[in-house]
Amino acid sequence: LALAPPFVVFVAIPFGETVSVLGTEITLYVSNMNVALLFVFAVIGIEVYGVIFGGWAANSKYAVLGSLRTCAQMISYEIPMGFAVIGVVMLAQSMSLLDIVRAQADVWNIVYQPVGFFVFFVAGLAEAQRIPFDLAEAEGDLGAGFHTEYSGIRFAFFMVSEYAIMLLVSVLAVILFFGGWNGVLIPLPPLLWFLLKVAFFIYLFMWFRFTFPRYRYDQLMAIGWKVLLPLS
């Protein structure tokens, strides 16, 4: 339940338009859903159950507290994240990720929706449980959270899930606000443009990790409910 949702979501993620290879048309997406954005948010919400069961099954008070923190954090930040993308849907008049990218052929959504992007990115940091929002894994008060009792392949499942969500948030930020595979100025292949933008956002995640300190839990919840939600 923790590992599957971040990977299932990529079924609805387009990485480019149809390309021709040796005379064969190849689509760079698995499925062009007309409700792809709704599908993404619905499937990602399932991951909460994996975290809760993982904390409960560990039979440790630290693991249970860590899983409860993660659950509250993900629910608190999914709401402003959902509101932040409503403006994008209104601009594209579609919930299809392909249509959203095509609507940005001339002007990227970041120009029209800078506040929406800010809310989306901060909520994405919290959703991926990256510093400064990794309260569920706080070593000082929870002994590394719900990962405490896990090692080997079980620990790897949780960590791969976290990094998959980080990749997913980067891909969604590029598709929703930065034109997807649409480039500017330099004539590069569309897929290369897309990968460069995603790599930039992954670098941002890493930079945040090495730069900012961890918030207290009350500050984390206050940012979600008192700042991001009204702003979105």
Do residues 100 and 191 lie in contact, with contact meaning Cβ atoms separated by under 8 Å?
A: no
pTM of the shown model: 0.84
Do residues 136 and 67 lie in contact, with contact meaning Cβ atoms separated by under 8 Å?
A: yes
Residues 51-59: what's their mean pLDDT? 78
pLDDT at 162 over 70: yes
199: pLDDT confidence band, cut at 50, 70 and 90?
very high
Residues 50-77: what's their mean pLDDT? 78
Determine the pLDDT at residue 192: 86
Determine the pLDDT at residue 158: 78
| pLDDT per position as a tens digit, 93-130 | 888 888 888 888 888 888 888 898 999 988 888 877 77
Do residues 147 and 126 lie in contact, with contact meaning Cβ atoms separated by under 8 Å?
A: no
% the chain with pLDDT above 70: 92
What CA dihedral angle connects 116, 121, 127 and 130, to 10 degrees? Answer: -160
Do residues 59 and 149 lie in contact, with contact meaning Cβ atoms separated by under 8 Å?
A: yes
CA angle 35, 82, 86 (to 5 degrees): 70
Do residues 232 and 119 lie in contact, with contact meaning Cβ atoms separated by under 8 Å?
A: yes
Question: Which residue has 């659950």 as its token pair?
Answer: 71
The helix (H) or strand (E) run that includes residue 6 is helix 4-8
What mean pLDDT value characterizes the chain? 81
Q: List the structure tokens of 141.
A: 């008060």
- State the DSSP code for 34: T
Do residues 170 and 201 lie in contact, with contact meaning Cβ atoms separated by under 8 Å?
A: yes
Number of residues that this document lists for the chain: 232
Do residues 143 and 170 lie in contact, with contact meaning Cβ atoms separated by under 8 Å?
A: no
Question: Which residue has 């990794």 as its token pair?
Answer: 134
Determine the pLDDT at residue 145: 61
pLDDT at 144 over 60: no
